[in-house]
């Protein structure tokens, strides 16, 4: 477990956003050289924005009244969207790969999974967790290459090409017909329309 113990008075103080902002500025001014301050401050804005955005993405399917609380400037930072989507999807799947089920996390929080868009962001700008799946590196690449897909009833489909490749890691073909490992919360499961788009546009049927 990685964590920190905070002084109680400090904890009370930083429960207010404006105090957190002020403390963040003071820490950056105190501990970083003048030339490092701007990049550190920008990264801090991205991390904070991504944290807020991922919380909204996870709450919205069950509560459509959740409003975006990011400033416009923050909301349009691609890094905030990327990191927020990643955080939401990986959290929804509890760090488990939707296709092969692997779950590996290091003590300092590194995880074997990444967040995959089912319909690429460039097509629909859809960052809902339901347009994503947490996938390990191998499954992510295989899904993006159209060698694996997911059926209407959430079973893994393996492209016939998988069987014709040399040196194929056997476990990929063994996934065929197995149910995917979805999030605990039903509204966060992959959108069936997004999966259909992937089957029709990406999955290699030959």
Give the chain as a 3 state SS string.
Answer: CCCCCCCHHHHHHCCCHHHHHHHHHHHHHHHCCHHHHHHHHHHHHHHHHHHHHHHHHHHCCCCCCCCCCCCHHHHCCHHHHHHHHHHHHHHHCCCCCCCCCCCCECCCCCECEEEEECCCHHHHCCCCHHHEEEEEHHHHHHHHCCCEEECCCCEEEECCHHHHCCCCCHHHHHCCCCECCCCCCHHHCCCHHHHHHHHHHCCCCC
Nearer to Zn ion, 81 or 140 (CB): 140
Rounded to a whole number of angstroms, the minimum distance from the CB of residue 157 to Zn ion is 15
Interface with Zn ion (CB under 5 A), residue from 80, 130, 136, 150: 136
- Number of residues located near Zn ion, criterion CB under 5 A: 5
Nearer to Zn ion, 116 or 130 (CB): 116
Nearer to Zn ion, 136 or 180 (CB): 136
If one asks whether residue 148 binds Zn ion (CB under 5 A), the answer comes out as no
Nearer to Zn ion, 90 or 100 (CB): 100
Interface with Zn ion (CB under 5 A), residue from 77, 80, 88, 97: 97
Interface with Zn ion (CB under 5 A), residue from 92, 100, 119, 133: 100
Rounded to a whole number of angstroms, the minimum distance from the CB of residue 81 to Zn ion is 24
If one asks whether residue 203 binds Zn ion (CB under 5 A), the answer comes out as no
Residues contributing to the site for Zn ion (CB under 5 A): 97, 99-100, 136, 139
């Amino acid at each position: 477990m990685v964590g920190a113990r905070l002084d109680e008075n400090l904890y009370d103080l930083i429960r207010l956003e404006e105090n957190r902002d002020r403390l963040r500025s003071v820490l950056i001014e105190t501990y970083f050289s003048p030339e490092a301050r701007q990049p550190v401050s920008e990264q801090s804005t991205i991390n904070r924005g991504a944290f807020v955005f991922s919380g909204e993405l996870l709450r919205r399917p069950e509560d459509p009244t959740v409003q975006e609380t990011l400033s416009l400037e923050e909301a349009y930072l691609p890094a905030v969207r990327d990191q927020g989507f990643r955080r939401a999807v990986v959290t929804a799947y509890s760090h488990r790969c939707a296709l092969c089920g692997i779950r590996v996390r290091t003590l300092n929080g590194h995880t074997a999974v990444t967040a995959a868009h089912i319909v690429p962001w460039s097509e629909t700008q859809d960052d809902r967790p339901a347009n994503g799946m947490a996938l390990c590196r191998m499954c992510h690449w295989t899904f993006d290459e159209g060698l694996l897909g997911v059926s209407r009833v959430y079973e893994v489909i393996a492209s016939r090409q998988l069987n014709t490749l040399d040196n194929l890691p056997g476990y990929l073909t063994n996934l065929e017909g197995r149910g995917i490992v979805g999030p605990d919360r039903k509204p966060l499961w992959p959108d069936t329309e997004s999966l259909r788009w992937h089957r029709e546009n990406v999955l290699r049927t030959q």
